[in-house]
Structure formats: structure tokens, C-alpha cells
Chains A and B, each alone.
Chain A
Amino acid sequence: MNGMTAFFRDSTVQIAFWGLVKIVVILFVMLGVVAYLTFFERKIAGHIQSRPGPNLVGPWGLFQPLADILKLFLKEEFIPDRANKILFHVAPILAVAPALTSFAVVPIGPDFIVTDVNVGLLVFLAMSSLGVYALTLAGWSSNNKYALLGGLRSAAQMVSYELALGLSTIGVILLAGSLSLVDIVHAQSGAFTLGPLALPRWFVFTQPVAFVIFLVCAFAETNRAPFDLPEGESELVGGFHTEYSSMKWAMFFLGEYMNMLTISSITVTLFLGGWNGPWLPDSLKFLWFFGKLFALIFLFMWVRWTFPRLRYDQLMAFGWKVLLPIALLNVLATGTAVYWVGNR
């Protein structure tokens, strides 16, 4: 018994234990949130298209996600003949795991973060760059030409937009002087004041160009409209997930929504001040974080249901010839400004 107590008092064990507790909490909260995000997406889509959306299962259709999950569990699992069996199983896992992993470095509140890594932003970039494999491998292992085309499109698209995404964060890193997301949030506390007017010190105001580039790349990285070419159903049937059914298909769906949550959280952290906000005490500051997060997710859904899909060559030209040069210019301008302010 004494051995047990000593074991639990050990600091390494404590860190591991509380880390695990936080991971489990975040996992289950995210699963619940994602289930209801699908509901909100359908409601918002319904509103935009002047129809009610799901409204029959439960009051206001609130139990619709539960019915959907039950249906997905009961559907027949189908694996195409001559598919690469191992990769066909691995791809859906790869769709969800990176998004969950990068959530570990997001500071949700002043005291709530799974782990403060000194290169937290790089953890996010690394995980989002690994997310490409899910779509590419799903497309290739299905042994289906439409799936393969979807997978190839996703590989080209995500690698192209990752460059601009990474470069747009450099402005923020230069201003914050750190790669740790906690430090970046702290660098955005306080406000610029001019008499009675006050503007929060969020990086969206000091780095507006980087914010726009990051947001556009975020749409592209999550493969949502107007950048949903990997699954463009009018030309590729279902794109990379054509051959997937039942819970494996649901994993891709889950991955898309989790990626949306993760990339929105990072946008809030980098540009919208994270949990910074007036009035609330420190213990409730996480409400600011969630408020900003859901405003951004609403923007994601709004864009998806109101913009048409880009053509493939437009997509590539926009990424390489517009976003990348602007992101590079932004790095140059920010660097010059930081140097000038520092040496004045």
C-alpha cells in the first residue's frame, strides 16, 4: 500500500496521470461537440437554403446526431476487392489521430492545457502536415480511380497550402517572440488605448494579412468548400472516401470536423487572443475561447454553404501564385517592422 502511495506521489506519474485525465476529457468533449457540429451544419445549411433542416428526431431535431451515429454503427461494412487491406484500415485512423494530437498544445484557459510545449506551434504544423496521409492513402488503397484522383488532389492541395499556412504564422512568431502557444496568447493580453477607445492587442489587428492567408489556408487544409476538390462529388463520385462505408466513413467525417475544430482553435490562439477577454475571472476565461471558437466554426459553415467550388487549376494557381508571394512579403514587412521598432 505504501509502495502504491509513493508511486502516485511521484512527480512523473502525477504529470502522466493528469495528462491522461485531460486527454480523456478533451477526447469525449470533442466527440460530443463533433456530433452536434454536424447538427448545426445541417441546420445552418437548411437556413441558408430556406428549408427547415433536420427537425423530426426529438425536440427541434436535437436527437438527430444520435440517430445518425446509430445508423452508421448498424450499416454494412464493405471492403472492395483487391484493396490494400492494411492501408484501407489505417487511413481512417490517420484522419482522426493528428487532429486530436495537436489539440494537446492548445491553451483552452489560463490553467487548462494538456501540455505547454516550447514549440507548440510546430506541433500543430507537423500534425496538420501528417493529416495528408489519411486522404492520400485512403484514395490509393481503395483500388478505385475516382478515389485515387481524390487522394492525389488532396496531396497536391494540402502540400501547396501548407507552405502559405506555415509562412503566415511567421509574422505572429516574430511579434510574440516564441513558438509556444501559451506565450503567444500572453503576448496578446492587454489593449491599445487611444483616449476612451480601446482595441485588444490581438494579432488579427497587427497581422491582418497573415490572418486572411491563414484562414484561407485553413479552409483548404480541412478540405471544405470552396476547396473540397478531393471529394468533389460532381466529378469524383465521393473522392477519396468513395469506397468507404459504415464507421470507417464516419471516421473521415469525424476527422474533417475535428480538423475544423483544431484549426479554428489554433486560429483563435494565434490571431484572436486565445482566452483573453474582458470581465470574466481567470477561472471562466475559457468561455471567451469557446465563444471565439464557435464564431469561427460558424464562419466555416457559412462559407461552405454559400461559395461555389473552385476549379482545380484555379486552386493551384491561387495557392502558389497569390497566397505564397503575399505570405513571403508579409514575413519581409513584419521582419523589417520588428527590426525598426527594436532599433529605434
Chain B
Amino acid sequence: MITVLFVAFAAILVVSSLLVILHRSPVTSALFLVLAFCSLAAIYLLLHAEFIGLVQVVVYAGAIMVLFLFVIMYLNLGQDVESGATVVLRRGLGWLLGAALVAEGALLLAGRLAPGPAAPPALAAAAGAGNTQQIGLLLYSRYLFPFEITSIILLVAMIGVIVIARGLREAAPAEPAAASAPAGAAAPDDAPGEDA
């Protein structure tokens, strides 16, 4: 039963992830990314990582992707326009990085170079009642330093957004109507930092 569900969600995950990069309409791409996040959350649930699975939905599918969609709709983006770097350069870089990623994955799988045991015994034992507590304990003891570094990076991003929005406001002091618009548009932009 678990295997069937895993294969089903994994298939949805792979197909929707491919459609994210293959579909031309930005809104549809974003929605397939939401679907990908949700099927990833389902896979986490199958692994008994309920907390991670649902936080995945709350933060990524429920907050960050909503803001992505908000911006796409706000700017009324239509079809993907080929501009900026030349197509050849972008395609070449894409294939190069993709190949590197695939090679890396193959190497890890072949050598079984996972960073730890697939299911740490302590976590597997706690799967029934309290893996939320286990995550909290690990996060605030063993992984405290990376955790704090991450929060500082997010804080820097938030301050950066506010500085950029302020800069726009000061650049156009003569037009109060135009000045309030970028600030209003920027308000949702600083939210991902808060959410994550």
C-alpha cells in the first residue's frame, strides 16, 4: 500500500516538476510547482515525517507560492519572452548544470553516500508520537549554528527589500500617489523572509 502511494506521488512529483520548467505560461508553471510541493509533502507523510510534510505545505505551497502568483498576476506576465542572455548561452549552461546535477545524484546513489543512516533509530522510534519534539531538539542543539545562520540570512534579505523599497520612495518625492504604489507592492515581497 505504502509502495503504491509512494510510486503514485513520486510520479506526480516528477511530471509536475518537469512541467514547471517546460510550460510556457508563468501562472501554469507556478501552479505545477505548487502541485510538486504538495506531492513532496505527501512523500514526507509516507516517511512518517508529518511535521516536515505539513510545514512544507504551509510555508512553500501556502505562503511562498501564493506570493509568487501574486507577483506574476500583479505584473500581468504573459508568455515567457526570450530575452536577456542569448538562447545558446542559456541552453548550454542549463545542459551543463543539469548534467552535473544528474552525475552528482548518480554518484551518491551508486556509492550510497547518504549523509547519515536512512532512518536514524531514535527518529524511527519516535515516529508514533513525537517526531515534532525530536526535530525541535535536533534543531536547537546539533543544528543550532546553521539554523541561526539561516535566520540571519533571511533577516538580511528582509532588510534589503525594505531598503530597496525606501530608495524608490525617496527617488520620487514629488508624486505622493506614485510614491505609495511601490511601497504597497513591496509589502508582500518581504513576506517570504518572514514565512521561512
Contact = CB atoms under 8 A, between A and B. Distances in A.
A88 interface: no
A322 to B, nearest CB: 15
Contact of B63 (A117, A118, A151, A162): A162
Given A118-B129, A118-B132, A132 B54 contact: no
B66 A136 contact: yes
Interface stretch (B67-75, B85-93, B114-122, B143-151): B67-75
A256 to B, nearest CB: 18
Contacts of B34: 133
B104 interface: no
B61 interface: yes
B130 to A, nearest CB: 8
A173 B135 CA distance: 16
Contacts of B41: 126
Contacts of B188: 155-156, 159-160
Contacts of B31: 87, 137
**B interface: dominant SS:** helix
A119 B62 contact: no
A312 to B, nearest CB: 9
A151 B73 contact: yes
B66 A155 contact: yes
Contacts of B55: 122
Contact of A130 (B62, B130, B191): B62
Interface residues of B, number: 30
Interface centre among B58, B70, B74, B188 (most CB of A within 10 A): B58
Contacts of A152: 70, 73-74
A136 B61 contact: no
Nearest to B60: A129
B120 to A, nearest CB: 18
Interface string A292-328: 0000000000000000000001001000100000000
Contact of B191 (A12, A129, A160): A160
A247 to B, nearest CB: 23
Contact of A117 (B50, B58, B69): B50
Nearest to A319: B187
**A interface: dominant SS:** helix
Contacts, number: 88
Nearest to B192: A159
A166 B50 contact: no
A209 interface: no
Contacts of B187: 156, 316, 320
Interface string A141-180: 0000000100110011011101100100000000000010
A294 B179 CA distance: 46
A123 to B, nearest CB: 6
A275 interface: no
A103 interface: no
B6 interface: no
Contacts of B129: 118
Contacts of B67: 155, 159
B73 A162 contact: no
A140 interface: yes
Given A316-B187, A320-B187, A179 B132 contact: yes
Contacts of A320: 187
A132 B66 contact: yes
Contact of A155 (B70, B130, B195): B70
Nearest to A131: B62
Contact of B66 (A139, A159, A163): A159
B123 to A, nearest CB: 14
A23 interface: no
B1 interface: yes
B186 to A, nearest CB: 12
A125 interface: yes
B18 to A, nearest CB: 18
B27 interface: yes
Nearest to A313: B184
B132 A126 contact: no
Contacts of A122: 50-51, 54-55, 58
Contacts of A148: 73
A163 B73 contact: no
27 contacts: A12-B1, A118-B50, A118-B130, A119-B50, A119-B51, A119-B54, A125-B58, A125-B62, A126-B54, A126-B62, A128-B62, A129-B57, A129-B63, A133-B34, A136-B70, A136-B73, A137-B31, A152-B70, A155-B73, A159-B66, A159-B67, A160-B188, A162-B63, A179-B51, A179-B132, A313-B184, A320-B187
Interface of A: 12, 84, 87, 117-119, 122-123, 125-126, 128-130, 132-133, 136-137, 139-140, 148, 151-152, 155-156, 158-160, 162-163, 166, 179, 313, 316, 320
